[in-house]
Structure 1
Amino acid sequence: MPEEDFVKGFHELKTNLLKSYFNPSQDGFGESHIAKMVDSLGVDSSETSTLYQILDGALTDALYTVLLGLDGEASIGNNNQQMYKLFDEAGNELTKRGEIEGYAWEYFHNRK
């Protein structure tokens, strides 16, 4: 699997999670615990938009940081910053060239 496809999968995960939080019947997701909490707030559309932006930002920060951490460009938790070796099922190393960081920036910060 190319590095770009790996990063794209994380971005698609973020998109699908957000959909499941605000449109729980879409994309094969059942109603999640988060969707129930969002619904229980009873907020108007402006407040729902703000909540969406908050969760979108939080998921972006978390997933982007994980990707950079795997690529050795950020620390994960309180661990020292280090590069990890990550392989796909075919044995191809995804972290070999350090390209995850660039794709992560592109998918999480340049494409909206």
Structure 2
Amino acid sequence: MSPEEFVKNFYLEKQNILYSSFDKLSESVTSIKIKELELNQIQTEKLKEIVSDLLTDTFYTILLGLDGSASIGNTQESFKIYDEENNLISEGGDLEGYAYEYFHGE
């Protein structure tokens, strides 16, 4: 897996969480709580924007933290990321550009 594929998978996971949170057929804890709010369409779209922004900030910060470009908690250091077969995916500094592209690019 390349650094770009690694970041893309994080982005796809963010999109899956967002989708399932607002899917009327989903039975996730989040989707149930959102349904219980009984929001109108405008309120639902606004909440969806807020949740999307929160997920974007969270996933982006985690990726930058793994890359050494941001802190995780109170510690900032670079991590090497390997797949199950011990192939190097990233050795620090490889994720930031792709993370920006996927999470903040147009």
Q: Compute the TM-score of the two structures, normalised by the length of structure 1.
A: 0.88
Deviating above 3 A after TM superposition, structure 1's stretches of 4 or more consecutive aligned residues are: none
**Aligned partner of 1:104 among 90, 96, 99:** 99
Q: Is the 8 A contact 2:79 2:92 kept in 1?
A: no
1:82 to 77, 83, 95: 77
Shift of 1:97: 5.5
Contact 1:73-1:83 within 8 A present in 2 as well: yes
Question: What are the residue-to-residue correspondences of 1:1-112 with 2, within 5 Å?
Answer: 1-25=1-25, 30-78=26-74, 80-96=75-91, 98-111=93-106
How far has the Cα of 1:95 moved from its partner? Answer: 2.1
RMSD: 1.3
Letter in 2 for 1:87: Y
Aligned identity (percent) is 44
Count of equivalent residues: 106
**Equivalents in 1 of 2:92, 2:20: separation in Å?**
34
Q: What is the one-letter code of the residue matched to 1:58?
A: L
Report the AA paired with residue 65 of structure 1: T
- Pick the structure with more strand per residue: 2
